[in-house]
Structure formats: structure tokens, C-alpha cells
Amino acid sequence: MDSRLTISGEIAGAPLNSSLARSADGAIRHGPITLPAAEAGDLSTRTTDTTGVLTIAGTTLQIGDTIDIYWDGGRRYAVDVDNVVADDVTFSGGAGDILPAAATPTTAAKQVVIATDFDGANLVAIGALSTARGHLSFQESGVTELSVDLSAREAWFWINQSTAPNPLVSTVVDAIKASQAGSVAAATLDLGVLYDSTP
């Protein structure tokens, strides 16, 4: 399986046009995956750095949902919905940034679970692209081993023989959880994996 990533552009006037080609034994493609629009509201109550209440008019969130919460300049992911009363969503836990001040506008999105199966130690390349700001959680046995923030229409990727170490070298990925921050429309996510049979 052959893949090629082409980069075209410049930094400070210096051209950085290049084509990165890699071959691997196998490949996995996820996508296009629809990420439903998040629900817009605000942090009406900030109890602690990690707990509070979102007020979301007409919310469809339910007790037991796992959500990602976004605001300007921050996000928390893998947050538990503990209670829902009318438009008030009580939540706790998760990881990421501490909560902003009360009354901060937020969006909240239920995580989309992508079933997958690959050993990160065998990675040759991995990349993702979302049409909206979003988040990926790479999971092993229900534990988030890698958290990735996605900017709208900006590719995230890793390729072997590059300057960065393999971010999943110690992880057998069995699920990826994804969401997007936008509340106006659904977003589209594409994700590709190249891997060898052995490291």
C-alpha cells in the first residue's frame, strides 16, 4: 500500500514544497465520518475547575452521555453527563483545560465512537482532517492514550522517519472518539492509517 502527502507553501518566504511518500503492508480508512453539530449554550454554573452546569436550550443530551465541551480558547473532553433537568446539564470529570469563568459561551458535543483496531508500534503514517474545529481521543481498553486537537481544515499527521516520535508507539488502538465544536452544521472527518505487520 502506497500513500503520498504533498505539502505546498512557505514560511517567512522560504519555500517548503515537498512530497512525502511511504509504503506499508496495510491501510485503514475511516471516513468520511459525519460529526453532528454541537449544542450551544453557556456555563451557567462553575462548581469547580472540572464540574458545573451547562444551560442549553432544547438540549438532547442525556444522563450517561460522554461529551466534549468547547469554548473560545479551550476544551474539555470525555466529560460525564451526570444529570439533565430541563435545559440544565450537570457534568463532571474529563480531561483537558480547566473550565472558564461562569457565563462563558460553550458548545457541547456527544462523542462519536469510531471502531478500529491497530497496533501503534506498527504505524507508518496516520493523518486526520476535519472541516471544523474538533477533537480526537485515541483509546485502548477505554483509556485515552492520545488526545489530538483539530483545527478546521488543517491536517494533523505523523509520518515515520520524520522529526517527531511516534505518538502511539505504546498503544494498541481499539477505538477513536471524535467530536466537533461548531453548533451550526455537521462537520466531516477523514482519517487514514498506514501500518506494517511488524514494527
Please, are residues 180 and 134 in contact by the beta-carbon 8 Å criterion? yes
Kindly give, in sequence order, each residue whose CB lies less than 8 Å from that of residue 117, ignoring residues fewer than 6 positions away: 173, 174
Helix (H) or strand (E) holding 3: strand 2-7
Share of the chain above pLDDT 90, in %: 86
Q: All 3 cell numbers of residue 129?
A: 482532517
> What does the pLDDT average to over 162-170?
91
Specify the DSSP class assigned to residue 133: S
The confidence score (pLDDT) of residue 199 equals 62
Kindly give, in sequence order, each residue whose CB lies less than 8 Å from that of residue 142, ignoring residues fewer than 6 positions away: none
> Over the stretch 107-162, which tens digit does the pLDDT of each residue have?
999 999 999 999 999 999 999 999 999 999 999 999 999 999 999 999 999 999 88
Map out the domains of the chain as residue ranges.
2-35+112-195, 39-110
> Over the stretch 89-108, which tens digit does the pLDDT of each residue have?
999 999 999 999 999 999 99
The confidence score (pLDDT) of residue 95 equals 96
What predicted TM-score, i.e. pTM, was given to this entire model? 0.92
What does pLDDT average to over the chain?
95
The confidence score (pLDDT) of residue 121 equals 95
CATH number of 2-35+112-195: 2.60.120
Domain 39-110 has CATH 1.10.3470: no
